[in-house]
Structure 1
Amino acid sequence: MAQLSALRRALLSSEGSNPSKGGKENVKWVEGVRGVASFFVVVTHLCRAWDYTLWFPRDNEHAAPKLLQLPFLRLPWQGRIGVTMFAFLTGYVCAIKPLRQVKSGNMSGALTTLGKSAFRRPPRLIMPATVALIIAWLFAQLGGFKVSSRCDAAWLRHSSPKDIGSLDTEIPRLFHNFQTVWLSGRQEYDDHQWALLPLLQGAFTIYVTLFATLFMKVRFRLLTVSILFMWYWLDPRIGRETFECQFLYGVLLCDIGSEPRFRQWVNEWTRTRRAIQTSLIILGIYVASYPGERPEWADWSAQLHDIGDYIFPAGTAEYHKRWSAVGWCLMVVGIWMSPTMQGIFSNKLFMWFGRNSFAVYLTHGTVLRVFAARMIYGWSGEPFSITQNENGDPVHHWLKRSGPLTFMVAIPVFFVVEYTIAHYWTTYVDAWCAKATKLLEDAMFESEDEKSAMQSYA
């Protein structure tokens, strides 16, 4: 009880504290976790393409579960949690600098940071995503998606662009897709970009929330963000738990984590902290393992479904996304409380994956459908034919996938190619987009000297 009381005082008694005192907060781990999130996204798309049964708790109601269908082990393969992690990290990263400035007494700097961050966010997302869209469009014109649109993997077929016409129809179609992806999240050439719109909208949710709460005392800012979190959590509409709740949860943990008294509690109550963080991580992985489909086929997932009936708002349609959100909220608190876990995610390997995470997200869909599909099905897209049955209905004779040995070679090669492309994308394409954004910022914002001169004149 003494330890919990100390934690409570750390969270509620921090007004006027100096963040330069106490334990220093490590925020590099966020980059490493981002790399894990992007890896989960890629892995789940591989599973959706070629081993969809990993989304079930077992292959059928009476079969024994496979090893990778068991709780804990199944988490990466049904990597829907990756988008949830991205949303949390967006909230955390957007809040780091302005909250630090506020707590150091630099309110003017915090407001400037919010303004410039809000300006940078759209071009930093839209420009590289548009380059990725154009590349996917070019591959479509060259027949790059021919194999993936004819293969026996239904998910690959459905997510590949179809009905590619001549340039007089394809050029307007390109501009139409650029419009729809930022209006509705729908995009025909690379449907993985659907998440970019809610992530962009979420960033502005964070900016508005921070702007409205910067002048509050810490405890009341935490209370306000917590109320907003619960407001969205009680909304049963699809996506609230994946996006809005995670944006606000990121702000909440960022605010608490930057408090020196909290860091002091982390450093002083080591045994209590380790017990709490370990329990949270284990429980989080377990509940986040909730299957995407057929939870009634296993006792453990059926039990989670019954618990969800009590803790999720009435009308919730997608329990698997709710459990992913709950699981991540538990896991990330365990990571956030643990200097050891933060150190692991801050090492050079995880940091490298994190730096390339956005590039991986943007490019993996095209690489998967253009390159990996050809390694699995061959390069020609043949033999493929459509016949008719006795009723006159079309019968598609899809390309058949190769055997296990081919997959053992193709999947590692795919990852090497994908992360190599992502590295060069980050080095050149993303760097160019950053420079272009900086040029826009310099042209459209007043310099510090100009602002000082205007203030002196006033």
Structure 2
Amino acid sequence: MIFLPKAPQAIIRHFLLRFAGAPDTSTGAPRPANMSARDNRQNIKWVEGVRGVASFLVVVTHLARAWDYGLFWPSDGPEEAPRLLQLPILRIPFQGRIGVMMFSFLTGYVCAIKPLRQIKSGQTSAALTTIAKSAFRRPPRLIMPATIALVIAWLVTQLDGFQVAKVCDSDWLRDSSPAREGGLGHEMLRLMWDFQNSWIHGTPSYDEHQWALLPFLKGAFLIYMTLAATCYMKFRARALTIFVLWAWFWCSNDWKTETFECMFLYGVLLCDIGSEVDFREYVNSRPKARRIVQTSLIALGLYVGSYPEGNIEFAAWSRGIDQFNFLFPADNDPPKRWSAIAWHLIVLGFWLSPTLQTIFSNKLFMWLGRNSFAVYLTHGTLLRAVLVRFIYGFSIAPFSMERPENADPIYHWIPRTQNWFAWTVAIPLWFSMLYVVAHLWTTYVDAWCAKVTRWLEELMFEKEEEEKPRGAGLV
């Protein structure tokens, strides 16, 4: 037996244990068997949880638009004190805008996860295959469930299901609720034109909330083209290229580039950087600095994201933010620009925070995330056909119209209930109904659409070499 001093024995034992993959008893920490193959995976479950929050915020925003549009202002008047929900930060869930941006960012992040993982592991050909198949799946996975939701909204229209919404005292509900314009033949032709408008112009009339699906579809292909064009680049070159693309869209004043294109690319950029092991180790080795940075980013993002949609001059804090509008290109939309900056900062804080990622990865948020697309597709019809009846009743008898001579008609819309108890019961009950319907939609409708998409993929794609039966291709 060879006797060695204690220190060399400890060193030898340490390296033997590391090589074997057993825990090092000197520290109690397990070691990987192959130290050269570091784990390049990152926590992505939190993305699904954030998606669930985004869909919830979209619904809350539409409730505010329907019945309390003053929440989009800093106060109800220039001399009036703000209400609680009009204060900075507290107003964000109700004033909207940020929910669609969250969906855009998450689309970029999720679409890039698998291709970037394959690219970084040297499987570039596999990454291109993944991009090709993802690009094929995206249209049917968006168009099929959206079309089913559109047909349901059309059927509700034919059955006068939106009749109460068309004559209620909410301008937004009246303007966004469809009505029959003719006989069945005319309405069927109108449905076909509405489907076309949804995917060419993004202007559906039976379910106007589907306007964002066309930009989402286009954005997915922007992501796929970007990944395909940069898949052979080094990490830093690819990150720089994506950043330049992001900056190009940010400097544009075209319609909603800050809502869609910038967010798609920002999601790809953070996914790419976050999958770098060296970067994660660098950040995690400095927990105090990381917490300070992430907290500051989230706090600043929440503040600037409070920028109101109108009547900015009603409050000093909104006038203060308004002074920095020179940062944006000419002829832009300042409320959306500030919301975009807000989400850039907030999600960067989430991305840097393992604690927040753990919170958003719990079962509740994950369940909300799984049902988020179904909530987005169904909430408009349920809002105008069901919730309005909880608030206004089932009869349109209170509605009337006067036709004075030589004057415009005078409309007496159905008034909303003034019973606060009815509101506190109706809205939670309706939310419960919405999420039950969304869960059933995800379980059956969305699953069926996924099955059809897989069938189409198997029908139209060549089998990969390892999937072909032995002897295939031989003459």
TM-score interval w.r.t. the shorter chain? over 0.9
- The counterpart of 1:195, out of the listed 212, 220, 230, is 212
Structure 1 262/321 Cα, relative in aligned 2: closer, same or farther at 3 Å? same
Q: How is 1:117-132 mapped onto 2 (pairs within 5 angstroms)?
A: 117-132=134-149
Q: Percent identity?
A: 59
Q: 1:415 deviation in Å? A: 0.3
Please say if 1:332 is aligned against 2:347: yes
- The counterpart of 2:455, out of the listed 439, 448, 452, is 439
Q: 1:448 deviation in Å? A: 2.0
Structure 1 62/28 Cα, relative in aligned 2: closer, same or farther at 3 Å? same
**Which residue is 2:356 aligned to?**
341
SS state at 2:92 partner: coil
**Which residue is 1:244 aligned to?**
261
Please say if 1:147 is aligned against 2:138: no
- The counterpart of 1:371, out of the listed 369, 383, 386, is 386
**Which residue is 2:87 aligned to?**
70
SS state at 2:163 partner: coil
- The counterpart of 2:434, out of the listed 413, 418, 421, is 418
Q: 1:165 deviation in Å? A: 2.3
1:148 and 1:160 in contact (8 A); partners too: yes
Note the alpha carbon deviations across 1:125-163, whole angstroms, 9 max, x for none. Answer: 000000000000000000100000010000000000034
Q: 1:454 deviation in Å? A: 10
**Which residue is 1:429 aligned to?**
445
SS state at 1:396 partner: strand
Note the alpha carbon deviations across 1:352-407, whole angstroms, 9 max, x for none. Answer: 00000000000000000000000000112222111123533111110000012211
Please say if 1:314 is aligned against 2:330: yes
Query: Which ranges of structure 2 fall in alignment gaps of 5 or more residues?
Result: 1-34
Q: Answer with 1 or 2: which has the greater Rg.
A: 2
- For 2:172 and 2:278, locate their aligned partners in 1 and report how far apart those are by CA, in whole Å: 50
Note the alpha carbon deviations across 1:290-331, whole angstroms, 9 max, x for none. Answer: 11111121111111111122x111222x10000000000000
Please say if 1:407 is aligned against 2:428: no
**Which residue is 1:221 aligned to?**
238
| Letter matched to residue 65 of structure 2 | R
SS state at 2:329 partner: coil
Q: 1:238 deviation in Å? A: 2.5
Please say if 1:380 is aligned against 2:399: no
- For 1:435 and 1:391, locate their aligned partners in 2 and report how far apart those are by CA, in whole Å: 61
2:40 and 2:117 in contact (8 A); partners too: no
Q: 1:263 deviation in Å? A: 1.1
Please say if 1:137 is aligned against 2:154: yes
Structure 1 442/294 Cα, relative in aligned 2: closer, same or farther at 3 Å? same
- The counterpart of 1:206, out of the listed 206, 210, 223, is 223
- For 1:172 and 1:333, locate their aligned partners in 2 and report how far apart those are by CA, in whole Å: 47
**Which residue is 2:19 aligned to?**
none
Q: 1:455 deviation in Å? A: 11
**Which residue is 2:368 aligned to?**
353
2:387 and 2:426 in contact (8 A); partners too: yes
- For 1:340 and 1:328, locate their aligned partners in 2 and report how far apart those are by CA, in whole Å: 18
| Letter matched to residue 407 of structure 1 | W
Structure 1 189/303 Cα, relative in aligned 2: closer, same or farther at 3 Å? same
Q: How is 1:75-86 mapped onto 2 (pairs within 5 angstroms)?
A: 75-86=92-103
TM superposition score normalised by structure 1: 0.93
Structure 1 240/289 Cα, relative in aligned 2: closer, same or farther at 3 Å? same
Q: 1:22 deviation in Å? A: 5.5
